[in-house]
Amino acid sequence: MATGTLPYPPASLLGRLTDRTREDFLAVGVSESRPAGVTIISQGEADSSAMLLLHGSVKVLATDPAGERTLLAIRVGGDLVGEMAALDVGPRSATVISCTDIFFKRITRAELRNFLARHPDAAIEVATMLSERLRWADRRRIEHGRPASVRVARVLVDLYESYGTRMGARWDLGVPLTREELASIAGIKLSTAEKIIRTFQQDGLVSGRYRGIAVLDMARLRLRAEIP
């Protein structure tokens, strides 16, 4: 995920900050680590701290009143997680589970607000980040009227271009992504997602097993996603 000498993806919050602001931000909060498969944040709880993810990856999931769990997003090193509860007074809106061993800074509401007040450039980047996440959610809702194969292709393009690593023509996500999770993001049935992935594999667009997908031809996948 490294870009030049910067250890964080350019699309992540830390990747957007200037060197000085990033250094100041990394001095905020308390360092913690967790192994893979641990719940870091639970939906509905009243805790108001944020997590600045420094290494590893997590999944953000939400459970509806019927008990169905949906994968909302993937976050990697450099991303800020749980910021909504730190910026407003509401309960946690989602659950966050570690996909790998992770290292992060736990930042209290007061610490985050004080840092943003002292660094207007960081406040602007946080606002930009929140806007982009809202646009992601809006795209998923708007796309519900499109064919299922287009929705799956768009989810894959969004995820892999935002968080994947590229080696030649191949893109890997580096995070376990199940067919159920892919189906939940695209808003389709599991059986439909499985059929679409098989078609994509036959057409040479993707490869992979149950818990991992690699994109082999991003240009053609973008065509399937009907992205100009």
Residues 118 and 66 in one domain: yes
Does 20 have pLDDT greater than 80? Answer: yes
**Are residue 129 and residue 150 in the same domain, yes or no?**
no
One domain, residues 27 and 131: yes
pLDDT digits (tens, 9 = 90+) for 81-128: 998 888 887 788 899 999 889 999 999 999 999 999 999 999 999 999
3-state percent breakdown (helix, strand, coil) of the chain, nearest 5: 45, 25, 35
Domain count, the chain: 2
Residue 89 lies in a domain: yes
What average pLDDT does this structure show over 22-43? 95
> Do 129 and 174 share a structural domain?
no
Question: Whole-angstrom Cα distance, residue 226 to residue 205?
Answer: 14
Query: Does position 4 have pLDDT exceeding 70, yes or no?
Result: no
Based on the fold, state whether residues 152 and 130 are members of the same structural domain.
no
Residues 195, 137, single domain; the answer is: no
Range of the domain at 161: 146-224
Residues in the chain: 228
Note the pLDDT tens digit of each residue in 58-72. Answer: 989 888 888 878 888
Note whether 97 and 39 are same-domain residues.
yes
In this structure, the answer to whether residues 112 and 152 fall within a common structural domain is no
